[in-house]
Amino acid sequence: MSECSPKNDYKMLILKCQNSEAEDHEVCSLESVCKLMGITPVVETITSLKHLGEILKQGVEYNFIYLSAHGDADVFSSEEFKFEVQWKDFANMLCITDAMAEDCIIMLSCCRGGLAKVAYTIFYMCCDVQYVVGPRHNLTNCEMSTAFHIFMFNHMERRHDPVVACEKVAAVIDTRLICYDRLEQETTSSYVNFVETNFESDGETYQMSPEAQAIIKEAEEKALAEFMTSSGEGKVCCPAPAEAE
C-alpha cells in the first residue's frame, strides 16, 4: 500500500480550547490525517486572546488553521466559558501576526462556525483570509472529526477546491460543512448588506476589545522598531537629529 504523497511542507496549526477528552480524540485523529497527507501539524492550547497572539506571532506561516472551540455567531469560547474571543478580534490576530500562508484555509470546528455572519466578519476584518470552513449547525466532536477528514481528503488528495470539497462531505455523511470563498462572497448582496449594516452604519458595534487593541499596538511598535533598526548591527537607520546647542 503506497503512502499519501507529501504536500510541499504544508503546515496546519490546530488550536484547542475546549479542554475535554472528546476534543483530545478529535485533535489526535486530525494530527494522524495530517501526517498521512504530508502536512505538519502543530497543536497549541489557547488560554486567552493574548496567548493566541503569542502563538500566532512565532514566525510560522500556516496553510491551514484549525480552531476547536465552543462558538456562536459572535464569539468562540473555552470550556465553561472561562474566556471568550470575539470573531473580529480573532481575525485581527490573524492579520497582524502574518501567520497565514497564501490561500490559507480557516477551519472552524465550532458549533455554528459556518454561519455567514462569522465568515463575513472574518473577511471584513482581515483581507488576507480567503476561505472559511465550518458547520452550519451543531455537531459532536465525532461528527466534526469525520466531516473535516472527508474535507481534507477531497481537498488535498482529490485536488478539489475547498467549496467542492465541502459539498463532498454532505454527499458522504449528510452533514453540512460550508466553505465561504472570499472571491465569491464579496460581490453578493448578502455580504454587501452585512458590511453596510454592521460596520459602516454603526462602527461602535464592531470596535475591537481593549485587549485586542493592546496586542495590536504592541505588534505595531515592534514592527516599527525592527524597521528602524538596521539588520545585524543594532543601529538606528534614521537616527534622531541632534539637539540644538
What is the residue extent of each domain of the chain? 11-228
Residues 6+ apart with CB under 8 A from 196: none
Residue at 16: amino acid letter: K
In order, the DSSP letters of 103-172 are EEEEEEESTTTT-HHHHHHHHHH-TT--EEEEESS---HHHHHHHHHHHHIIIIIS---HHHHHHHHHHH
Q: Under CATH, domain 11-228 is a member of which superfamily?
A: Response regulator (3.40.50.2300)
The pLDDT value given to residue 240:
44
The pLDDT value given to residue 230:
52
pTM higher than the cut 0.85: no
As a whole number, mean pLDDT of residues 119-128 equals: 94
Please determine, for residue 10, whether its predicted confidence score (pLDDT) is greater than 80: yes
Kindly report, residue by residue over 192-217, the tens digit of the pLDDT.
999 998 887 654 455 666 777 777 67
**pLDDT: which is higher, 19 or 161:** 161
The pLDDT value given to residue 151:
96
CA angle, residues 242, 243, 245, in degrees to nearest 5: 120
* Residues 114/117/118/123 CA torsion (nearest 10 deg): 110
Under 8 Å between Cβ of 107 and 66: yes
Kindly report, residue by residue over 51-101, the tens digit of the pLDDT.
998 999 899 999 999 999 988 888 998 876 678 899 999 998 998 888 999
Mean residue pLDDT across the chain: 84
> How does residue 241 score in pLDDT terms, banded at 50, 70 and 90?
very low
Distances (CA, A) of 136 to 29, 115, 175: 22, 6, 9
The pLDDT value given to residue 201:
63
The pLDDT value given to residue 31:
96
